[in-house]
Structure 1
Amino acid sequence: MTDEGIPTNDLVLEGDLVIIDAAGVVRLRLDRETGSIFGHNADGDMVFRWQVPGNNLSFGGHGQDGDLTIFDGGANTVAGTSQAILHVNSQTGTLRIGGSGISGRILGQDGDNTQVFLLDAEAGIIIVGNDGQEGSFLAQNSSGQTTIRIQAQNGNINAGGGGADGDLLLRGPDGSLRVHLSAGGQRMEIREPSGEITAMMGGDANIRAGSNGRSGNLFLYPQQASDIFNNAQASIVLNAENGNASLGGSAGDGDVLLRDTSGATRVHLSASDQRLEIRDGDGAITSMIGGDANVRVGTNGRSGNMYLYPRDAENIFDNSEATIELNGDAGDIVLSNGDCAEEFRLGTDAAAEPGQVVRLTDEGAICPTTTPYDTRVAGVVAGAGGQRPGIVLGRTAAGETAARVALMGQVYCLVDAEPGSIHTGDLLVSGSRKGHAMRADDPAKAFGAVIGKAMEPLAEGTGLVRILVNIS
C-alpha cells in the first residue's frame, strides 16, 4: 500500500488516460479532472460519452447507431440482442423490455414509492393510477390540443375537440365496421358485414331499426326475466314486420295510459279490465268502451253523444255534417237522411237508377215501371238528388245485383209532367214513361197504386221532384 492507501499493484496516473490506435487517432480518453469517459470512432468523432458531472450517458451519431442492451444472469452471450431483456434501439426508436423467458414490466412510482403506473407484458395490462391518485390518459393533436381523454376519476372517455369530431369505431374479425358512434353525424350506427346500416339511434333525434333484410323490433323485459334473448319473456314488443305493438304477458297485464300536462290520466286502455276509459281532469270516467261488452258515453256532467259521418264529410267537429246522431241528453236517434229503404234483388237483365219508380216481378225481384197506375209498385230507388237512405233494411245474397228502394220518408223521384202538371200535395202513381211517376187523376185506378205525395211542383217536362213516400 502507498501512503495514500492505493494498492501498490494498481496503475496510478496523474494525467488523463488516453488510448490511441495505430493511426494515431484517440479512441478512448478518461478525463482526470471530471472522471468522464469519451469514446471516438476511427475518424476521431466522439460516439460515446459518459459525463460524470450530470451523470449523462450518450452514444451513437456520426453514422453509427447507439443501442443499449442489458442481459440477466442467465444469458450465455452478450453478443447481439437476442438474449437481452432490455434493448433500446436508436435505429428503430424502440424500447423492448422482456424476453428470454422473462416478461417485461414498466413500473412507475411517485415520490413516496407508490405505484401509479404499471405496464405488465405477462398480464397484458396497463394500470394508471393507484392509492389516492387518479389515472388519466391524454392524447393530443399536432397543435397540442387534447382530442382524446380517458379519466378514471369520473369514468369518462372523451373523444373529439380541438377542431376534430370524436368517433368510436368497432370492427368485426374481418375488419368490417360493425358499430359506429359518430359525433359529427350525432348518431350511433349498427351495421352488417356488408356495411349496410340495420339500426341507428340519432340523426334528427330518431331511432331507426330494421332495413336491408333485417326486421326492426324493440323488446323490453321486466326485472324478473331470466333470458333477454327469449322474446316470450318481453313485456313490451314493437314488431315492425307485422306492425304490432304488444304490451303485457308473463310480467303482468298490459296497459296504455295517456296523461295531460298536470299528470292526470285522461285515456286508459286496460287489458285486465278489458276496456278503454276516457276521463276528465278530475279522474272521473266520461266514456268507456268494453267492460261486459258495453259502450258507455256520458256522465259526471258530460253529455253522451255519438256522431257518425259519411266519407265525404269535411269537418268531423261539425255536428251538422253527421248523418247519424245518438243524443244522450234528448234520448233521440237523429237520421239526417230522409227515407227508410230496403234492398231488393233486381230482376234478370233489369237495371234501376236512383229516383226511378220500381215494381215487383213474379220472381220476387224488382224492375222499373212502364205501366200507368201499376198496383205492383214497390217504391222509389233511393239515392237521387244526393238524398241517401237514413235506414236500410235487409241485405241481398252476396253477388246478387240489388237496389235500395225507399219505402217511407222523403226521397227524390223521377216524375213526368206531360200527362199533367205536378202540384205540391198531388198523389203520384206510376206513369207510362219508364221508371217515372205521374199525377193521379183517376181515384178509382189510384187505389193500391199510389207511390206517395209530391212535396214540390213540376209544371212541365220531366225531372226530379222531392216526394213523401207512402205506398197505398
Structure 2
Amino acid sequence: MFKSIIVVLLLLLLYTATVLSQAPRLLSHNGFLADNVGQPINGKVGMVFNLYTTSVGGVSLWSQSFTDPADSVVVSNGVYNVTLDLSTAPSLTYNTQYYLEISVNGETITPRLKLTSAPYSLGPWNTSSNKVYYTGGYVGIGTNNPTNNLVISEDANSFIGLTISNTNTGASSAEEISFANEDGSQAFIRIYDNDNATYPGRMLISNNRTGGSIHFGTAGINSRMVIANDGNVGIGTTSPIAPLHITPNSSSYAFRIDQGVNGHGILSYVNTTSSAQTVLAAASNVSGGFYVKGDGNVGIGTSSPYTKLTLTDAIGFTNSTNPMVYIYQSGTSNAERPVIAHSPSFPTWGLSYQDVGDKMMFQAGGNPVMAVNLGSSQVELFKADGTKTIELDPEEGTGRGADISLWNDAGVNTIQIDADYANTGVGRIVTDVLQIQGGSDLSEHFEVNNSGLEVQPVPGMVVCIDSKEPGKLIVSNKSYDPRVAGVISGAGGITTGMLMGQAGSIADGHYPIALTGRVYCLADASSSPIEPGDLLTSSDIPGHAMKAHDYTKAQGAIIGKAMSSLKEGRGLVLILVNLQ
C-alpha cells in the first residue's frame, strides 16, 4: 500500500492571451509518494488521475493515465511532477467544486484531493461575484443576465465605461483593443502614449484584413462614411473612387462650408507643373461648368481655358445701383480705372477710363482697328492691316475746336476738316475734289426786298441788285435790267448745291441766290416762245425771265441760257445761270 503525501497541488497557469480569451487548460501537479512504512519511493510508477464533482462516488468527468512504460511517472526520493491536460474535457466550466482522484499502480489513494484557488484560473470569469456574472458562456459586469460575450451595465447617473491602462513610460508604450478572426488577420484600435518615441499621442483605428474597410453608420447598419482599404474616403457611397468622394442622396448641398470667423473658406494645393491638370472642377449634367487649371487659367463653360478667364457664353450684370465692373492695376490709385456701368445711379457713365497716359485699343487679328487717346480724347480708326485712315480730334489744341483728318490708302491726308482753323474760329475744309450730290447750283445768301411790289420772293424768281440798299436784292420787274443778279434757288425740286455767306455780316441773308449752275426759273413766253439755247433776260413781269430779242439792250442783262422750252404763257424753264 502506498502512502501519498500531497505536498503541492496546482500552481501553474501557463498564460492568459488577450482579455476574455480562454486560457490553456494545463495543470501542473506535484506530490510525494512513500511506502507503507514511510520510506520514499524511487523509480517509475503507473498513475491514473480522475476528476469528480463529489468527494466520494459519482461519475468521472475526466481521466488521464500514465501507465505505459514509456510515459509512466518518475519518482525520485518520493517526489513526482506531472502536467495534467484538461483540454480533453471541454465541457468543464469551472463554476463548481471539483475533486481529483489519484491511483498508483492500480491502488486508489483516499481521500480525493479538493481543488482550490489557482486551478480555477483555468476558467477565467467562470465564477460570479456581486459585480461579475458568468452564465451560459456570457460574462456580465453589472448585470446577471448578459446577452452577449461581454456586457457592461450600470444604472447610475455617472460615467461608465471600459478602461485599458498602461502605466509604463517606455518609448514603445501603447494600449490596444484587437479583433482577430480564424486566419489571424486583425483589426484594432490602438492609442500610443505621449511617451511613445515613434507616434506620440496618436490614436490609430485600423483594419488589416484583406479588402478591409472602416464604415461609420447611423440608423442601423447604414453606412454614412467609409474609409476604403486603398485610403479613399466615401461619404454617401461605399465605393469611393477618389481620396474624398461625396455622393449625397438628397437635393441638398453635397458640400458646404460655413466659416464662423473672419477666416478663409477653401484652400487647395495641387502638386503639379502641368497646365492641363484640373485643380478645381464644378459641373453638372448640363454642359459646361467651372474649371480651374494648373496654370491658374479659369474656364466657365469650358474645361480648356486658354486665358486667365475664358467664357464660352455671354456675361451679364444686374447691379441696379452701382458700377458693375471695376478693373484696376495692383498698386494703382482707384481714380485711374476703367469702369463699365449702366444704372440709374450712373446714367452718364457707360464706359469710363481715367488713366490719361494710356490709349484704349480695339484690335482685330493683332492689329488696331480703333484707338482712343485718353489724354487728348483723340480717336483713331485703322484699316484691317493697321494703317490709320481716320483721326477725330475733339480739341486740336488747347482752347481750339475739333479737327477731322482722313487718309487715303497711300497714307496721304486727302481731306482735312478744321472747325477752328488757325485758332481763328473759322471752319475750313481742305480736299482735292469736292463733290456735291444734294443740288446743282452755287448760291449765296442774300436779303431780297419786294420793292413795293405786291409779290413775295419765292424760289425761281429773277432778282436784281437793290440800288437803294447795298448788298441786298429786289424782285426784278423791268425788261433788260442790267442790275440782274441771279435766280432764287430751290424751284422745281432742284435744291441748292453749295451755299455761301458770312453770318452776321452784309454778305448774309435769308434767300439762296443761284449765281451759277442749273436752276428752274420763272419765265414768260408771251412775246416769243423759249427754246433751249436761247439767251434769257429780265422781263416786265415781276420775277420772270424772257427771251432776249434786242442783243444791244441785252448786253449786261443776260441771266443765262435756257435748257428747256416754254411755248407760250408763263412757267418754269430750266436754265444754266451764266450772268453776262
Cα separation, 2, equivalents of 1:377 and 1:37: 139
Listed one character per residue, the Cα deviations across residues 272-303 of structure 1 (whole Å, up to 9, x for unaligned) are 68755455565554555558887554466467
C-alpha contact (below 8 Å) 2:520/2:574 kept by paired residues: yes
**Which residue of 353, 365, 373 maps to 1:247?**
353
| Aligned length in residues | 329
Rounded to whole Å, the distance in 1 between the matches of 2:511 and 2:476 is 14
Contact preservation (8 Å) 1:342, 1:407: yes
2:206: which partner in 1?
111
1:421 shift after superposition: 0.9
Does the Cα contact within 8 Å between 2:477 and 2:541 map onto a contact in 1? yes
* CA–CA distance in structure 2, aligned partners of residues 456 and 421 of structure 1: 11
1:414 aligns with 2:518: no
CA–CA separation in structure 2 for the residues paired with 1:288 and 1:427: 49
- The residue aligned with 1:4 is 117
Alignment partners' CA distance in 1, 2:156 and 2:463: 117
- Does structure 1 residue 35 correspond to structure 2 residue 136? no
Distance 2:203 2:280 in 1: 23
2: CA distance, partners of 1:351 / 1:50: 128
For residue 535 of structure 2, what is the amino acid of its counterpart?
A: L
Q: 1:209 to 1:281 in 2, by over 3 A?
A: same
Aligned residue for 1:148? Answer: 254
Partner residue of 1:89?
A: none
Alignment correspondent of 1:357: 462
Kept after mapping to 2: 8 A contact 1:351/1:367: no
Question: SS of the counterpart of 2:137?
Answer: coil
Tell whether the 8 Å contact from 1:381 to 1:404 is kept in structure 2 after alignment. yes
Separation (CA, whole Å) in 2 of partners of 1:264 and 1:449: 63
Cα gap change, 1:410/1:273 in structure 2, threshold over 3 Å: closer, same or farther?
same
**Structure 2 contact 323–339 (Cα < 8 Å) conserved:** no
- Cα deviation for residue 386 of structure 1 reads 3.8
Partner of 1:428 in structure 2? 536
Q: Distance in 2 between matches of 1:68 and 1:414?
A: 128
2:486–2:514 contact (8 Å) kept in structure 1: yes
Code of the aligned partner of 1:260: A
Q: Name which of 362, 375, 391 aligns with 1:258.
A: 362
Matching of residues 43-442 of structure 1 within 5 Å: 51-52=148-149, 71=159, 111=206, 136=244, 138=246, 140-142=248-250, 148-149=254-255, 156=280, 158=282, 205-211=314-320, 214=321, 216-225=323-332, 230=334, 232-234=335-337, 236-240=338-342, 241-249=347-355, 253-261=357-365, 263-271=366-374, 275-279=378-382, 283-286=386-389, 288=391, 296-298=405-407, 301=410, 331-336=432-437, 337-347=439-449, 351-361=456-466, 362-363=468-469, 365-397=472-504, 402-442=510-550
Residue identity over aligned pairs, in percent, reads 26
Between the aligned partners of 1:441 and 1:407, the Cα distance in structure 2 is: 23
1:137 & 1:68 partners in 2: Cα distance?
42
User: SS of the residue aligned with 1:207?
Assistant: coil
| TM-score (normalizing by structure 1) | 0.52
Name the SS of the counterpart of 2:529 in structure 1.
Answer: coil
CA deviation after TM superposition for structure 1 residue 385, in Å: 3.6
- Kindly state the Cα deviation for residue 449 of structure 1 after the two structures are TM-superposed: 3.3
Distance 1:450 1:432 in 2: 14
TM normalised by structure 2 equals: 0.44
CA distance in 2, matches of 1:422, 1:411: 16
CA contact (8 A) 1:422 1:454 kept: yes
Distance 1:157 1:386, change over 3 A: same
Unaligned 5+ residue runs, structure 1? 19-27, 41-47, 60-66, 73-106, 113-128, 167-182, 184-201, 309-324
C-alpha distance 300-425 of structure 1, shift in aligned 2 (>3 A): closer
Q: Structure 2: how far apart are the matches of 1:369 and 1:456?
A: 21
CA gap of 1:286–1:4, structure 2 versus 1, over 3 A, is same
Q: How far is 1:242 from its partner?
A: 1.1
1:406 Cα shift? 0.7
Question: 1:170 is matched with which residue?
Answer: none
**Contact kept? 2:530, 2:562, Cα under 8 Å:** yes
Listed one character per residue, the Cα deviations across residues 129-159 of structure 1 (whole Å, up to 9, x for unaligned) are: 9x999974735125xx997257967764747
- Is the 2:143–2:151 contact (alpha carbons within 8 Å) kept by the matching residues of 1? no
Give the counterpart letter for 2:328 in structure 1.
Y
Mapped contact 1:248–1:255 kept (Cα < 8 A): no
Counterpart CA distance in 2 for 1:31 and 1:434 is 145
**Correspondence 1:467 to 2:567:** no
1:11-26 pair list within 5 angstroms: none
Aligned partners of 1:148 and 1:157 also within 8 Å: no
Q: Gapped runs of 5+ residues in structure 2?
A: 1-114, 161-201, 208-226, 234-241, 257-265, 271-277, 290-299, 301-310, 418-428
Rounded to whole Å, the distance in 2 between the matches of 1:425 and 1:387 is 20
Question: Is the partner of 2:566 in helix, strand or coil?
Answer: coil
Deviations 1:14-42 (A, max 9, x none): 6x999xxxxxxxxx9963421157979xx
1:247-287, CA deviations, whole angstroms, 9 ceiling, x for partnerless residues? Answer: 342xx5231333333x2334444346875545556555455
Shift of residue 422 of structure 1? 0.9
1:373 deviation in Å? 3.7
1:332–1:155 CA distance, 2 compared to 1 (3 A):
closer
Choose which of 525, 542, 554 in structure 2 pairs with 1:446: 554
Distance in 1, matches of 2:456 and 2:324, equals 53
- Assess if the C-alpha contact under 8 Å between 1:415 and 1:465 holds in 2: yes
